[in-house]
Structure 1
């Protein structure tokens, strides 16, 4: 989201990506280039089982789920459970897509197709929604779920380095679709969790604090366990326009829309 990224975060990413290689599943486009996508991994169905057992998931009627490979099974489970699923397109380039189980069924679509990134944008499956439409329709997300490159035990995420999830949170927070109390969950392989001492990395993560725009996670879910993070405070700064990476405003339509809404004072 913001440039430049702290150098120690990039060091963490590089080391985690090396650890993840034996467990990751290749992407059809990017193979194992983790700088381009968040991979699925061996055991991700077990992580999904742990997540869907959480009370915050059961209570949510609308779930925001990022377009990460490891979350395809979760998107499918949510649709089968009758939940609406809000997703962003890859790199947010075509904005947000709303998946509504009743609409998909009436149109003869299949949930298995809707859960896939190549399927969710088909006309009979998903509906593109603007920020203004989300606000006007009163959409309230009860739970946000994201994959990530790495995550600390304090719930601080280190993704591909662009900060797309922080952008998504900032936009949705600004128009009232999420609130400060909205629960955020990270789904990762166990090797993607970094302890506070930076075990095996020579990194003093205990000294690292979230930036003001970092959307810290309330829960970290792996195939083996669920970690609850205490004392989480979510960002309420919206989008820090002056800190955007070059070209983001031009390539991400919802950012341009939000800028216009803010100029009109929402």
Structure 2
């Protein structure tokens, strides 16, 4: 699989921070093996999946206590395994969500509480259940629904100053870019990462131009809010995408049409 920001990866090879990020990611992955729960398809191949982990339910406890969760009713939640319990609890709390499919290959799906029979919330929180009970939703429909109240993502690692990095494919960065183009997220939108405590990096990391900084970090042991978070990027960097990547990502094709880029 080609990385979604393959061109950017090539141009950044001499950036020492990219090398540092790679080292940190691999160091975290070596520790993560002890607490990660294997994926049914990718096992513990952390380059392909952000896994669930021991204690993710406790990390979720910390999120559901927060004001943004209590008052919010509509969110974007990534498809990461460590967010299964959060998706379940959102449904039980009567909250709707948009979830991306793996690799964004089939775009986004909408899952609302009234779509799920009572007692089936856990199944619906898994990706197979999401596609069983939910429905596809286009970018135009997402834009019509308006702003997300909050966003939650998994991560390979996240620093205490909010720099998050995932598997290395740039999916969350791309999703954020599309949503900023629609005007439904911006620098005020609360973004939280759910990770195990061993995935929290105390070293200072410097974000790339496309990295999405988080506002909060939820772990089994604590809830950390970032003060003086840096600004987040806006839009899609079309010049960093290969034609093949656009062809494999239906929402990117839709966004180009909405913007008149394929006219």
TM-score scaled by length of structure 2: 0.90
State yes or no: 1:173 paired with 2:180.
yes
Equivalent residue number for residue 87 of structure 1: 99
CA distance in 2, matches of 1:33, 1:246: 27
What per-residue deviation string (whole Å, max 9, x for no partner) do you get for residues 223-260 of structure 1? 00011101224434210011125632111110111111
Counterpart of 2:30 in structure 1 is: 18
Q: Is 1:134–2:145 an aligned residue pair?
A: no
Normalized per residue, which structure has more helix? 2
Matched with 2:84 is 72
Moved over 3 A (4+): none
State the alpha-carbon separation in 2 of the partners of residues 10 and 260 from structure 1.
35
Closer, same or farther: CA 230–95 of 1 in aligned 2, 3 Å: same
For 1:48 and 1:165, how far apart are their aligned partners in 2?
Answer: 20
Q: 5+ residue gaps in structure 2? A: 13-17
Structure 2 equivalent of residue 98 of structure 1: 110
Distance 2:212 2:233 in 1: 9
Is 1:66–1:145's contact at 8 Å kept on the other side of the alignment?
yes
When the two structures are superposed, what TM-score results if normalisation uses the length of structure 1? 0.89
Aligned to 1:110: 120
Summarize the Cα distance change of 1:222–1:109 in structure 2 as closer, same or farther, 3 Å threshold: closer
Query: What number of residue pairs does the alignment pair up?
Result: 250
Residue of structure 1 equivalent to 2:15: none
Question: How far apart in 1 are the matches of 2:187 and 2:119?
Answer: 34
Q: What RMSD in Å do the two structures reach over aligned CA positions? A: 1.7
- Give the Å deviation of 1:70: 0.5
